[in-house]
Structure 1
Amino acid sequence: MVAALLLADVAFSTGMYVQGFPEYGPERMGAPITAYNRLSNKQIRVHSNIYDPDYVVVVDETLLDSVDVTEGLKEEGAIIINTKHAKEELLPKLNGYKGRVYTIDARKISLEALGKYFPNSPMLAAIVKVSGVMDDEAFLAEMQKSYAHKFASKPEVIEGNMKALSLALQEVQ
């Protein structure tokens, strides 16, 4: 959910219209969370859940065993999965989805860049890269500003997150 909010913030800071909202199930803790973003160069007049997404980002690959993550996903869209596995290994779990499938090992990237498993920055970079919602340089510049504001007293956090973003932009496949 944090990555969805960051994406909305970055898109808004570049002049786009945005909507970002989470959807929680009836469970209290530990259940999957769905987060939605709408990004547009035009004013957004729709105020509902998204039933036919252009992109789906799966942060926890174990969801592939229990949730149809491709439900409603447009064939001209794409799915991005946080995994160490090749996309060919995941295709049987995607219910015959014929669109683009991307993978990224956000665990490896965040451990390398941050020393801890925080997948949000790598997954955020992956959706920006795959969607083309903004170019890499503009994205990195906006994220630098955002992290500098949020973590002003923690330069190591800023540096680690920026490294994670840069690595993810290169490694999403």
Structure 2
Amino acid sequence: MRELRIHGRGGQGSVTAAELIATAAFKSKIYSQAFPAFGVERRGAPVQAFVRFDDKKIRLRSQIYEPDYIIVQDSTLIGDVNVFSGMKEGGIAIINTEKEIDGGVPEGVKVVKINATSIALETLGLPIENTTLMGAFAAATGEIEFDALEESLRERFPGALADKNIAAARKAYDIVKGGA
């Protein structure tokens, strides 16, 4: 079983990203499970969402404490939350930033940095980075096929909005694949 933990702030679409990644995995013939961790969070407060992937049915229902992958939608969380907590050696951290990551990255964890905010602004006209980071996740991990991600986005969003989100995801996918 492989596990993803998404760190974001309320209103950034972390839960939506988890759901869409799980849907894309399912469309890629992989068992998947997505769920959020909610408390009394409000817009702007740190939130987490989780996704599990496996070749067989998933019966585990706990939070994810030792992820193979993390997505960090807002790099300012790195100073507020231990986003790298429990990461497995060989794991991949996808971080929305252009800046250097100052410490905290566990030994053996690969960091993929991408300026998802600028891609989102360019393609969507809004700083909503979740679909951009989903494209980066697909490229960096190979857990989901881009075609399945595109199909999931078309099911979730109508017409032109789907096209814009797919364009954002594709741009990030191509950038990460080109740098891999």
- Say whether the fold is shared (TM-score over 0.5): yes
Query: Higher strand share goes to which structure?
Result: 2
Query: Higher helix share goes to which structure?
Result: 1
CA–CA distance in structure 1, aligned partners of residues 18 and 87 of structure 2: 17
Structure 2 unaligned regions, length at least 5: 1-14
| Cα distance change, pair 114–54 in 1 and its aligned pair in 2 (3 A) | same
Aligned-pair RMSD on alpha carbons? Answer: 1.8
Answer yes or no: is the 8 Å Cα contact 1:22–1:34 preserved in 2. yes
From the CA coordinates, give the structure whose radius of gyration is larger.
1
Answer yes or no: is the 8 Å Cα contact 1:83–1:103 preserved in 2. yes
Q: Among the aligned pairs, what percent are the same residue?
A: 37
Answer yes or no: is the 8 Å Cα contact 2:34–2:51 preserved in 1. yes
The answer to whether the aligner puts 1:39 opposite 2:43 as a matched pair is: no
The SS at the match of 2:76 is: helix
**How many residues in Structure 1 have an aligned counterpart in Structure 2?**
163
| Cα distance change, pair 15–84 in 1 and its aligned pair in 2 (3 A) | same
**RCO (CA 8 Å, sep 6+): is it higher in 1 or 2?**
2
Name the TM-score, length of structure 1 as normaliser.
0.85
Moved over 6 A (4+): none
Structure 1 unaligned regions, length at least 5: none
1:141-160 CA-to-partner distances (Å, cap 9, x unmatched) read: 223333333334xx321221
1:1-173 map, 5 Å = 1-85=15-99, 89-90=100-101, 92-94=102-104, 96-135=106-145, 139=146, 141-152=147-158, 155-172=159-176
CA–CA distance in structure 1, aligned partners of residues 62 and 71 of structure 2: 19
| Cα distance change, pair 151–58 in 1 and its aligned pair in 2 (3 A) | closer
